[in-house]
Amino acid sequence: MEVEAAKYIAAGLAIGLGAIGPGIGEGIAASKALEAIGRNPEASGKITPLMFVAMAITESTAIYALVVTLIILFA
Amino acid sequence: MKLDISLAPETLFYIGSVAISNSFFWLLVLTFFILVGVFFLNRSLKMRPGKVQNVFEMLLAGAFDFVETTVGSKSLAQKTFPLVFTLFFFILVSNLITFIPGQAAVTIETAGGVVPLFRAIIADYSLVFMMTMLSVLITQIVAIYVAGPFRYLGRFLNFTSPLNFFLGLMDLIGEVAKVMSLSFRLFGNIFAGEVLGAVMLFLFPFFLPLPFAFLGLLTAVVQAFVFAVLTLVFISMAATVSEESEAA
């Protein structure tokens, strides 16, 4: 296999596999937050920013995969 | 058309043997404007606030209340607030400033070819790394100051049992991993936003990038907030965990 082709496959695999976990995790965070808001709509102002922070932290593993992908592609 | 994306910032010119990159240049411009803005705002403070002062006072008071509820005590909040809010404000401004349209079109002719004059400064890893080191080092200094040097070292090198020794080593790795997790999160988000915008512009100009620009706007605010809050949480953990172990 050529090096160039292997690079593209590696980049695709890295971000594709790396996005699975955070995708599930963010879905769980969003569903729980929406559930909580549904039970107690007055608390939405408190829940929403916390949900965003939690999601941003959950997302970070996907971001690591993305950084690796970008390094493979462009560096 | 070829996509022009590089991890490293482009060099604009040299002073002596020191390379001045476009992100460094942009950082100086931005810092200058922030300092001048804060200076004039500071000069025009009145007892009866005007519109601008009102907005900033509301922002600061809200942020301070948030810090106070997070760290749990007013004295600790007063100590950590300046650092945390400066980090937040600086990252927020430098992220939002990249949404001014047209700046990617300003290019400059250099020895190494035509390079853009401006660059999102958070998309330069060296700056993010420095900010992360600052935040992590301050965390360690707070931990040493609160616990004392011997108990601080004792957290990592614990010879009472094999399990404690192993857990201490894990703690040590955790502290080092903070540098990577904190810096990669901010850098990766902003750089990925830039790359995403470029790719979408390449696929279908003007319309396709719009939703992604909105997503980037959200990311810009949330990541600035997350970086500051994580710094705050690290510092407050370093200041309180030691008190707990003192009681135990």
Q: What is the pLDDT of residues B216-244, one digit of tens each?
A: 888 888 889 889 988 988 888 888 765 44
Rounded-to-integer distance, Cα B156 and Cα B169, Å: 6
Residue B206: what pLDDT? 79
Query: B237: closest CA among B178, B185, B197?
Result: B178
Q: Do A53 and B226 touch (CB under 8 A)?
A: yes
Q: Do B188 and A64 touch (CB under 8 A)?
A: yes
The CATH classification of domain A3-74, taken from the options 1.20.20.10, 3.40.50.150, 1.20.960.40, 3.10.180.10: 1.20.20.10
Instruction: At B109, give phi and psi (nearest 5°).
Output: -85, 120
- The β-bridge relationship of strands B113-116 and B107-110 is antiparallel
pLDDT band at B246; cut points 50, 70, 90: very low
Q: Please answer whether residues A46 and A6 qualify as being in contact, where contact means their C-beta atoms are separated by less than 8 angstroms.
A: no
The CA-atom distances, in angstroms, between B73 and each of A49, B241, B244, B248 are 21, 14, 15, 21
ipTM above 0.90, yes or no: no
Least confident span in A57-66, B56-65, B85-94, B107-116: B107-116
Measured between beta carbons, which residues in chain B are less than 8 angstroms from residue A70? 5, 7, 191-192, 195
**B149-155 contacts at long range (C-beta below 8 A, 24 or more positions apart):** B151/B242, B151/B245, B152/B242, B155/B245
DSSP bridge partners of B11:
B21
CA distance A39 to chain B (A): 24
Residue B1: what pLDDT? 44
Residue B92: what pLDDT? 92
In chain A, positions 16-55, which contact chain B (CB-CB < 8 Å)? 49, 52-53
Chain B interface mutation, best of A15, A48, A53, highest count of B Cβ atoms under 10 Å: A53
CA distance A38 to chain B (A): 24
Rounded-to-integer distance, Cα B191 and Cα A73, Å: 13
Residue spans of the domains in chain A: they are 3-74
The CA-atom distances, in angstroms, between A75 and each of A70, B68, B185, B192 are 7, 43, 19, 14
Mean pLDDT of B54-75: 87
CA distance A49 to chain B (A): 9
Measured between beta carbons, which residues in chain B are less than 8 angstroms from residue A64? 184, 188
Summary count for chain B: helices (H), strands (E): 7, 4
**Residue A65 confidence (pLDDT) above 70:** yes
DSSP bridge partners of B107:
B116
Above pLDDT 70, what percent of chain B?
Answer: 95
**Residue B147 confidence (pLDDT) above 90:** no
Measured between beta carbons, which residues in chain A are less than 8 angstroms from residue B181? 60
Q: Please answer whether residues A70 and B7 qualify as being in contact, where contact means their C-beta atoms are separated by less than 8 angstroms.
A: yes
Residue A11: what pLDDT? 92
Q: Does A75 touch chain B (CB under 8 A)?
A: yes
CA distance B100 to chain A (A): 24
